[in-house]
Structure 1
């Protein structure tokens, strides 16, 4: 069914008004900032936005404006913005976890090396004491008597 030029203009105006609302972040609950929501908000069949259909140029304009906003760091869809924020936080936390794991591995390796060195040093001390006891050729003098000290 063909529509009149007046009806088409009226539809385009509704689409542009809905487009502006969506891009300002006025997204209905449970919906996204996408063509499906744009079509439902403008009360236009979604297929009219594709191919050579009458409102394909408005779909391209909507996608271009949405991309421009996203490139500028603005995401009109709160849900999408939350997803982006949570993904970034998730990546940051993964990096922190990786750093913690690396640091923990380094400290575990250091602990292992330190314990091995302490064990080797202890063994060396024990051996030196045993060698000193075996080679003990020094005679111990008797302790002096108190009367001998006064002389």
Structure 2
């Protein structure tokens, strides 16, 4: 019972009651309660050992130790799977944003192009107020008054 939680597993074995029974050379059903023909339930001959084994396993798992390498691998793969699912969800959201932008971009470019053409056109737009032209003073720029 002490070897299995330490990771000393037989080939093809796991850290469970079936392997414990095989290593101890006893029948696995001895770890479970028995029912008499009259319906009364009594403890199995090794039930107390099974309860102790399960208690030790739970204590190790709560401490973050997984004695069975397959269980550790399953836990690692589940964590990796969750990370990849989160990454995939973020990438899907980014793709949706970019697809939306791709749909809107041509209409924005067309509107900007129309605005550029309108601003470059020599004809004044009747909707805009007239702009007064500033005239230059003959003789260049002359300062009148104090500059201080």
Structure 1 length normalisation: TM-score?
Answer: 0.69
2:7 to 25, 36, 41: 25
Aligned to 2:29: 47
Find runs of 4+ consecutive structure 1 residues off by over 3 angstroms.
123-133
Displacement, 1:121?
1.8
CA distance in structure 1 between the partners assigned to 2:32 and 2:122 by the alignment:
94
Larger helix share, 1 or 2:
1
Q: How big is the alpha-carbon RMSD for the aligned residues of Structure 1 and Structure 2? A: 2.3
Deviations 1:21-59 (A, max 9, x none): 100001112111100000000101000000111111111
SS in 2 for 1:63: helix
List aligned pairs for 1:122-133, cutoff 5 A: 122-126=113-117, 132=123
Aligned to 1:82: 73
SS in 2 for 1:108: helix
CA distance in structure 2 between the partners assigned to 1:55 and 1:131 by the alignment:
101
**Is 1:106 the counterpart of 2:97 in the alignment?**
yes
Displacement, 1:115?
2.6
Displacement, 1:125?
3.8
Displacement, 1:111?
3.1
Aligned to 2:63: 72
**Is 1:91 the counterpart of 2:82 in the alignment?**
yes
CA distance in structure 2 between the partners assigned to 1:57 and 1:131 by the alignment:
99
Displacement, 1:132?
3.3
**Is 1:63 the counterpart of 2:45 in the alignment?**
no
Q: Which moved more, 1:22-31 or 1:105-114?
A: 105-114
Displacement, 1:60?
0.8
Displacement, 1:87?
0.8
- 5+ residue gaps, structure 1, are 1-18, 136-151
